[in-house]
């Protein structure tokens, strides 16, 4: 593989390193630096694209704007502010819980796993979200990096002594206090964590608190690692 080919591959998939590319990078410092630059750029591209386009305005409305009196304009601005506040304050506080449940229901195969996920595979999935998981008393039988609310989050299923419990590590979802919910036959809780929150769900509420607490202690951001 020559440098042009290596850079084409890095530019196309900055996070992917085939064996052939890895061999080239070992012997080519310039391409290795190029990859570092592209990985850094990629993080910014993700940030740029992930931001929800909340501020974009309807195209047609923009062109249909007509002259209004100052009072009418002020009143519309006030109404818009009030409407925004109303939407914000009336937003169901458990919408996060609902989305967590909807996400878990949409991944039914996660409950069918029986074998423990290999440490390497688990580490890879956690790394994608910048998370490190310390020791827990549970075996992880399912691990997936899932797109949730604009971010990749680790979706795990752990086996406790009694049952399977789903764990979503939500580094970008802050909650002020512990929330519990029951929906679609699932019991769950979302607890605050050092960064964001952790959601735990199971078919019964037994052990959910234990799992949540173990995970809260075991999860840390990659930047916090020693």
Partner 1 sequence: MRNSPPERTVSSVDLPPVERIAELRITRLFESMRPDLLRFALWLTRDRSIAEDVVQESLLRAWRSRDALKDPACSRAWLLTIVRREHARLYERKRLELVSLNDASEHEGSALLSQDDSEVQALRGAILRLPIEYREPLIMQVLGGFSVEEIACELSLSASAVLTRLFRARNKLRVLYGMTPAADASGSEESP
By CB under 8 A, name the one of 19, 27, 29, 55 that touches partner 1.
55
By CB under 8 A, name the one of 19, 27, 29, 61 that touches partner 1.
61
Phi and psi for 151 in degrees, rounded to 5? -145, 155
Please count the residues of this chain forming the interface with partner 1, following the rule CB under 8 A: 45
If one asks whether residue 162 binds partner 1 (CB under 8 A), the answer comes out as: no
The 3-state DSSP composition of the chain as helix, strand, coil percent (nearest 5) reads 45, 20, 30
**Residue bearing tokens 């996920």:** 117
Calpha distance 199→173 (Å, rounded): 10
Closest CA to 199 of 221, 218, 175: 175
Mark the segment that binds partner 1 (CB under 8 A) among 53-61, 173-181, 200-208, 209-217.
53-61
Q: Which residues pair with 221 in a beta bridge?
A: 131
**Residue bearing tokens 């949730």:** 148
First to last CA, the chain: 36
If one asks whether residue 20 binds partner 1 (CB under 8 A), the answer comes out as: no
Tell me which DSSP letter residue 110 carries: G
If one asks whether residue 103 binds partner 1 (CB under 8 A), the answer comes out as: yes
Taking the CB of residue 212, how many other CB atoms lie within 10 A of it? 22
Mark the segment that binds partner 1 (CB under 8 A) among 97-105, 132-140, 171-179, 208-216.
97-105
By CB under 8 A, name the one of 64, 66, 106, 177 that touches partner 1.
106
By CB under 8 A, name the one of 11, 134, 137, 204 that touches partner 1.
11
If one asks whether residue 77 binds partner 1 (CB under 8 A), the answer comes out as: no
Mark the segment that binds partner 1 (CB under 8 A) among 74-82, 84-92, 104-112, 190-198.
104-112
If one asks whether residue 50 binds partner 1 (CB under 8 A), the answer comes out as: yes
Residue 75 CB, shortest distance to partner 1, in Å, is 23
If one asks whether residue 83 binds partner 1 (CB under 8 A), the answer comes out as: no
Sorted by sequence, the CB contacts under 8 Å of residue 111 that are 6+ apart come out as: 142, 157, 164, 166
Q: How many residues does the chain have?
A: 226
Q: Which residues bind partner 1 (CB under 8 A)?
A: 4-5, 7-9, 11-14, 34, 37-38, 41-42, 44-53, 55-62, 98-99, 102-103, 105-109, 147, 149-150, 184
């Amino acid at each position: 593989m020559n440098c042009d080919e290596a850079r084409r591959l890095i530019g196309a998939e900055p996070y992917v390193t085939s064996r052939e590319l890895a061999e080239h990078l070992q012997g080519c410092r310039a391409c290795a630096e190029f990859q570092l630059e592209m990985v850094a750029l990629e993080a910014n591209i993700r940030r740029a694209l992930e931001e929800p386009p909340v501020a974009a305005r309807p195209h047609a409305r923009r062109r249909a704007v007509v002259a209004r009196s100052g009072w009418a304009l002020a009143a519309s601005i006030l109404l818009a502010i009030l409407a925004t506040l109303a939407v914000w304050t009336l937003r169901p506080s458990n919408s996060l819980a609902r989305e967590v449940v909807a996400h878990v229901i949409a991944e039914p195969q996660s409950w069918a796993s029986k074998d423990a996920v290999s440490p390497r595979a688990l580490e890879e999935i956690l790394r994608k979200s910048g998370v490190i998981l310390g020791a827990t008393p549970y075996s992880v039988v399912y691990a997936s990096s899932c797109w949730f609310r604009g971010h990749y989050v680790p979706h795990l299923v752990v086996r406790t002594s009694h049952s399977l419990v789903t764990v979503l590590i939500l580094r970008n979802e802050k909650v002020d206090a512990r929330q519990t919910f029951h929906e679609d036959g699932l019991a769950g809780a979302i607890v605050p964590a050092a960064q964001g929150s952790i959601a735990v769900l199971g078919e019964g509420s037994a052990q959910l608190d234990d799992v949540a607490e173990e995970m809260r202690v075991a999860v840390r951001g990659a930047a916090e690692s020693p």
